[in-house]
Structure 1
Amino acid sequence: MTPAAAPTLLYIDDDEALGRLVSRGLKRQGFCVEHVLSGEAGLERLRKGGVDVVALDQYMPGLDGLETLEQIQNIPDAPPVVFVTASQDSSIAVTALKAGAADYLVKDTQGDFVPLLQVAADQALRQAVIRKARDDAEAEVRASRDRYAALAAEREMLLREVNHRVGNSLQIIASLLHLQASSSKESEVKAALTNAMGRVAAVAQVHRRLYTSHDLKSVMLNQYLEALLEDLRRSAEGNRMSRLTLDAEAVEIDPDRAVAIGIVVNELVMNAVKYAYPEGKGPIHVVLKAQGDDLELAISDDGVGLAVKANPHSTGMGQRIVNAMATKLDASVERDPAHAGTRMVLRFRRTNIAAPTPAIA
């Protein structure tokens, strides 16, 4: 095992005789001692590096001890300094310690202070090792934190890009379904394609919202519903959704639940368009209200209501989809009997309650 190298102590003092005493005394204690006679010479030596600890006298011609100490503190990675003086004035000690000295001691001309200097130098070296270890640990923590922040930012950017691409792809599919529906001559095929387009658009809107959202874990439900209804208005034939309105409070919700809510809104709005106004168009209202931890979503119209006969060509797919999404939301679905037309009300909690998603039969 290689023995540790002797620490180098730089003794800055204009007293040559005392410098020799310090050198002999500390060398016997395992130090490598270099002695310079002025503050200027000490600073020049320190800039070359290789000094582990400094013993600095107070009174010297040219730069005195305090002035030299101030300049030592400006040297990068400066070694610890033990301030040495012949004065008994305690205010000097306070000034030196405030200026950055690691320790302070009073010297004598016979060299009796050398053992105390050895103890002070050893302690200053230990403190320097502890301080460096602490600084290195703090630097590593900062570096780790920066790496984590960079990885998190990269992950967020990638997730935004994924949502952007998925949203665009789904929007393309919705547009193709719209084109196919527009070119179809059979009303049943046209209706089925239009319904499918609305369902795809409902999912696409969530991904588009996540791409622009400040938080990838949530969606502003009111903004999402507004964009979804605007898509429905643009896709409707004969301006049949021109009186489709939204009254929604600002609510944040997780993306999966937003998809289920969007699909429910799409199905019930499309149902109102198809059956509420046999003679043409009429108002359709979507209302979202927050009630503590619960949300209430209502889709209503002023149409024929319960007077309408069941459509013999209806497959009931829309109702099954609504029921499946309601189960996913752990929501209750009720028809308001007091409403003149049709008013469907869903009540559910803001946060997800684990429940299995049933298959659509």
Structure 2
Amino acid sequence: MTTPAPTLLYIDDDEALGRLVTRGLQRQGYCVVHASSGEAGLARLRQGGIDVVALDQYMPGLDGLETLEQIQNIPNPPPVVFVTASQDSSIAVTALKAGAADYLMKDTHGDFVPLLHVATEQALQQARIRKARDDAVAEVHASRDRYAALAAEREMLLREVNHRVGNSLQIIASLLHLQASSSKQADVKAALTNAMGRVAAVAQVHRRLYTSHDLKSVLLNQYLEALLEDLRRSAEGNRMSRLTLKSEAVEIDPDRAVAIGIIVNELVMNAVKYAYPDAAGPIHVELHAAGDDVELSIADDGVGLNVKVNPESTGMGQRIVNAMATKLEAAVERDPKHSGTRIVLRFRRISAPAASLAASAR
């Protein structure tokens, strides 16, 4: 594809010099338009199609500096090469500060035309580089805006999904609660209550996600407080009046929060069933962080491990705790010094694959 010849606007009140410049630059492949005054040059510029301007300083009416000032006010003005016969260097400095791309001295015989050709070539090259840079910056900004819009849309969709999932889980938990409350069979009531607690543990994570500005993490202290409040309102709530929480503000990803919630639910319900056979008693949930490590404990002051396991127990709760502990890559221990039962889990705040990925990113 052939590149069109650049068009130069030569603004000078000297008609003879205008003809010399026109012939000289046409031989170099330029289309040249001559304007004999600043006003005429500005009028031609507003018509468009000018790639570069050569501008004389001394002219009747608007002089070169005044014309240059008005050129700079035109949207996307072409580069300007300032031309004058004056030996006063202050004019050159003023012109360059006013936005001229280059400056050169002229003579009355046209010997400066080759220099004008070089200056206009450089001015056009600088203009092309500047345009490419501006286009690149504009594209970067546009790409950033598109990414921000997509990220905002994705976050909105995730929030909506979490909202719908959370509502669905809450409905299921409520139905299980109603069924457990109306059941006359103790084993059925217990099974429904356990199922309700497990669903509520997951529902609380989703509730925290869609009511938070951060969809990537959950504050465990807020999450556990809400989860324990759900347990207090459950079918077994009358036996959890002394259920307490002591937790630091620990952020964790939603998947690990679900596992922690299910473990807390299982161990609290286990303490309610077996720690205090005759009445309600204290149950303490504690969560502490030390650097990248987190310690979770569920303790009671009940009968401890010195009694026989309830023959009606299926061991499902223990299997669930072990499965969730494996998901957390947690170590599960019983505290032998505690008079009742105290289960301690220790795990990393961030899972091993995520931790290695974060380290490599740093």
TM-score (normalised: structure 1): 0.94
Which one-letter code corresponds to 1:304 in the other structure?
V
Kindly tell me the number of residue pairs found equivalent between the two proteins: 353
Contact 2:181 2:235 in 1 (8 A): no
Aligned to 1:336: 335
Aligned to 1:152: 151
Instruction: Please state whether the residue corresponding to 1:235 is helix, strand or coil.
Output: coil
Instruction: Please state whether the residue corresponding to 1:299 is helix, strand or coil.
Output: strand
Deviation track 1:296-334 (CA, whole Å, cap 9, x = no partner) reads 101111222234432111111111111111111111111
Aligned to 2:117: 118
| Identity percentage of aligned residues | 86
Question: In the aligned structure 2, how far is the partner of 1:79 from the partner of 1:300?
Answer: 79
Instruction: Please state whether the residue corresponding to 2:346 is helix, strand or coil.
Output: strand
Shift of 1:137: 2.0
Contact 1:329 1:353 in 2 (8 A): no
Which one-letter code corresponds to 2:78 in the other structure?
P
Deviation track 1:185-240 (CA, whole Å, cap 9, x = no partner) reads 10001001100110011111111111123322221111111111111111144622
Quick check: 211-220 or 340-349, which moved more?
A: 211-220
Which one-letter code corresponds to 1:151 in the other structure?
L
Contact 1:283 1:302 in 2 (8 A): yes
Aligned to 1:63: 62
Aligned to 1:326: 325
Which one-letter code corresponds to 1:235 in the other structure?
S
Instruction: Please state whether the residue corresponding to 1:305 is helix, strand or coil.
Output: coil
Contact 2:165 2:206 in 1 (8 A): yes
Instruction: Please state whether the residue corresponding to 2:32 is helix, strand or coil.
Output: strand
Shift of 1:24: 2.0
Aligned to 1:359: none
Quick check: 79-88 or 31-40, which moved more?
A: 31-40
Q: Are 1:51 and 2:50 counterparts?
A: yes
Aligned to 1:317: 316
Instruction: Please state whether the residue corresponding to 2:352 is helix, strand or coil.
Output: coil
Instruction: Please state whether the residue corresponding to 2:94 is helix, strand or coil.
Output: helix
Alignment map for 1:297-316 (pairs within 5 Å): 297-316=296-315
Contact 2:299 2:343 in 1 (8 A): yes
Question: In the aligned structure 2, how far is the partner of 1:36 from the partner of 1:238?
Answer: 93
Question: In the aligned structure 2, how far is the partner of 1:311 from the partner of 1:135?
Answer: 76
Instruction: Please state whether the residue corresponding to 1:78 is helix, strand or coil.
Output: coil
Aligned to 2:358: none
Q: Are 1:89 and 2:81 counterparts?
A: no
Aligned to 2:275: 276
Question: In the aligned structure 2, how far is the partner of 1:85 from the partner of 1:212?
Answer: 69
Aligned to 1:357: none
Shift of 1:274: 1.3
Which one-letter code corresponds to 2:157 in the other structure?
L
Cα RMSD between the aligned structures? Answer: 1.5
Q: Are 1:234 and 2:218 counterparts?
A: no
Give the direction of change, closer, same or farther, for the CA distance of 1:191–1:113 in structure 2 (3 Å limit).
same
Aligned to 1:36: 35
Shift of 1:105: 0.3
Question: In the aligned structure 2, how far is the partner of 1:280 from the partner of 1:93?
Answer: 97
Contact 2:6 2:51 in 1 (8 A): yes
Where does the alignment leave 5 or more consecutive residues of structure 1 unmatched? 355-361
Contact 1:180 1:193 in 2 (8 A): yes
Alignment map for 1:244-255 (pairs within 5 Å): 244-255=243-254
Aligned to 1:103: 102
Contact 2:231 2:237 in 1 (8 A): no
Question: In the aligned structure 1, how far is the partner of 2:212 from the partner of 2:83?
Answer: 63
Where does the alignment leave 5 or more consecutive residues of structure 2 unmatched? 354-362
Question: In the aligned structure 1, how far is the partner of 2:217 from the partner of 2:102?
Answer: 57
Contact 2:180 2:235 in 1 (8 A): no
